[in-house]
Structure formats: structure tokens, C-alpha cells
Amino acid sequence: MPFFRFLVSLTLFLLFSGGSLVFAAMSSTNYQIQWDSLTPGGSDTSSSASYLLRDSLGTASLGSGSSTSYQTQSGYRAGVYDQVAAFQVFGQTSTTTDASVLSGTQITVSSSASFSAGDYIALVQDVGASQVAAIGKVSSTGVGTLTVDFFKNGGTVPTIDGTNDKVYKLSGASAALGTLSWNSVTTAIVGFEASADTGNGYTVSVFSDGGFRFGIYEINGVADGSVSAGIEEYGGRSTDATLANSTFDTADTAFSTSAQEVATESSSALESRNFVTLKASINQTSSTNGSYTQMLSFVLSGNF
């Protein structure tokens, strides 16, 4: 009974640039002042576990000046700019419940007992090769209901009628396809959320540590753009329809040991979500039973 175990390695490259300006920082062998403040009250930085405060007392009036080669900025912490990025990946778990109705961002489910506010979930219409899915973050639960903050889908909102419609919890660094079948396509969702304060946005790429394998045996990477029942093949499809450097947005695509683009943003973004749907099928006579695994690494990098 082949199954797939997905192990996420979070490799986070934060690539930031200061642009073309050169700042006149003061430095010595062991210290550097990136930006100084000449004020009667001075400046300081205070922080706690969740917040950071930069304060200045008695600063000069705000303003800026420039010439062909130089630029000056005056006023409150004019030169302080913290570029930040946050990135997390979450795989489809075995925690699931049937879905019967979708009304806005509220889902009627057979049981909400295994879900809590703050959980990421996948809502899937008609689980299988032609499934339509969306992901969201649970904002509240009720008796038989789950409400999410917003849904991210691949351009089509799931239509939920209670027939083969599911909600899956997304969590942790693995995602199991379960037992593969020769007469159907098995799926699993890997979601990710990024917040990046980068002017030109970011790109999320994925690469593997090798094939989808069990010992010397390997399930073929999909080559014709579509994972089909009865054929031994495996690949993934992204929800981002704007990819210019890979086919993950238009076709089921094989994973590679070389990085491939699966999501991109052209400007800074907060809680931007996308997901990749993993798909696999086996051949009734030629596929070998076993525990098939592959490690995928997702990388977030700034666009410059």
C-alpha cells in the first residue's frame, strides 16, 4: 500500500537591498552608527516580546533635500527602515470532517470538535483529480460550523453540496497522500503564507531531494501535464495563475532538484496565501508496493 510522506524543510532567504543611495554611517573597528540623531532629548529603542518602539524627543522638523549625488532626510528616525519577512508552510493532515454548506466564509461541517480558532484549513470540493479547493484560517468555531478570515483559491470558489466535500486541517511539516490507488488520483494540499515588506514583492520556489521513491523504486514524475488514474505518475499544481518561470500554474508539474517557482507577488504583501496540490496515481500491474517518500523545500526570496 504505497503512501507519501511530505517533509518540509523551511529554507528562508531574506534578500534585501538599500537601493542606490549611499548612507553616511559613522563607524569604528567594533561599532557602527547607521543613523544618528542630534536632539535635546535623545533617541532610544524599547521592545517587548511582541512590540518594538523607536522614540526620539525634540527632533528637527521633517524634510528632505537632494542633489545629483546625495540625499538628506531630517526628522523622526528618517533613515530607519526595517524590512521584514515571515513565511510558514503547512501540510494536509489526517484531521478531517465532512462539509455540507458554504455560506460566505462560514462552513457547515459534520463536526467542528477537532478544529480551533487559528487553525489553517483546506476546504475541498469533490476530493480527487478534479477537486476544487481553497485555504483559510479559522477565526471562530461553532456547533457544526467553522468560520475563516478569508479564502484563497485557484480562481474558482468551491461549490459545497455535501457530496465528497471535505475540510482538512493544515499543520506541521508533513502531508500524507495515504494509500494510492490505480483507479483514482490521490491528492494532498501543502499551503503556505508569506508576509514580506519588500518593494518588488517576493517569489516562493520549491525543490526536492530526489524522486518520489521507495528504495530502488520510484514513481514517475508527471510528464504530460496531467496526473491521471491508472498511470504511475506524480506531481503538483499551484494556485498562483501568474507564474512566468514554471508550469505549476497551468499544468500538473513534476518536482525537481532544481528550484521551480510556485508563487510570486509583485509588491509587499501581508498574509498572502497560496497552495500546491500534490497528485499521485499508480499502475495496477507495474507499480511496486511500499512506503514512498520525498522531501520538498520551499524557499521565499525577495524580488530585486
Query: What pLDDT is recorded for position 77?
Result: 59
Mean pLDDT of 176-181: 89
pLDDT for residue 70: 66
The type of residue at 20 is S
Question: Is residue 134 within 8 Å of residue 157, measured between CB atoms?
Answer: yes
> How many CB atoms sit inside 10 A of residue 158's CB?
20
- Give dist(CA 277, CA 249) in Å, integer: 11
Cell numbers 523607536: residue: 54
What span, in angstroms and rounded, lies between the C-alpha atoms of 108 and 142?
Answer: 9
pLDDT tens, 106-163?
999 999 999 999 999 999 999 999 999 999 999 999 999 999 999 999 999 999 999 9
* pLDDT bracket for residue 302 (50, 70, 90): confident
**pLDDT for 2:** 40
Predicted confidence at residue 279, as pLDDT, reads: 96
What is the pLDDT, as a whole number, of residue 23? 45
More confident residue, 11 or 241: 241
Question: What's the pTM value of the predicted model, to 2 decimals?
Answer: 0.77
pLDDT averaged over every residue in the chain:
84
What is the DSSP pairing of strand 3-12 with strand 291-302?
parallel
Question: What DSSP letter does each residue of 149-215 carry, written as one string?
Answer: S--EESSS-----SSS-EEEEE-SS--B--S--TTS-EEEEEEEEEEE--TT-EEEEEEESS-EEET
Confidence of residue 54 (pLDDT cuts 50, 70, 90): low
Produce one character per residue of 55-81: b if its CB has 16 or more CB atoms within 10 Å, e if not: ebeebeeeeeeeeeeeeeeeeeebeee
Cβ–Cβ under 8 Å, residues 99 and 162: yes
Q: Is the model's pLDDT at 76 over the cut of 90?
A: no
Q: Which helix (H) or strand (E) holds 235?
A: strand 233-238
235 with 220: CB under 8 angstroms?
no
Q: Cell numbers 484531521 correspond to what residue?
A: 95
Mean pLDDT to the nearest integer, 167-184: 92
Summarised one tens digit per residue, pLDDT across range 280-301 is 999 999 999 999 999 999 999 9
pLDDT in tens, 30-39: 666 655 655 5
Task: Tell me what the mean pLDDT of segment 204-225 comes to.
Answer: 95
Q: Using CA of residue 136, residue 89, residue 177, residue 228, what is the dihedral sign?
A: positive
Element of type H or E holding 75 = none
Q: Indicate the DSSP class of residue 241.
A: T
Instruction: Work out the average pLDDT over 239-248.
Output: 96
- In the predicted structure, residue 100 carries a pLDDT above the cut 50: yes
- Which residue type is seen at 79? G
Residue 105 DSSP label: T
How far is it between the farthest Cα atoms of the chain?
82
- Cell matching residue 138: 479559522
SS3 of 299, please?
strand
Confidence of residue 11 (pLDDT cuts 50, 70, 90): very low
Angle at 20 between CA 17 and CA 21, to 5 degrees: 105
Alpha-carbon torsion angle 197, 199, 200, 202, nearest 10: -10
State the pLDDT at residue 159. Answer: 97
Note the pLDDT of residue 292: 92
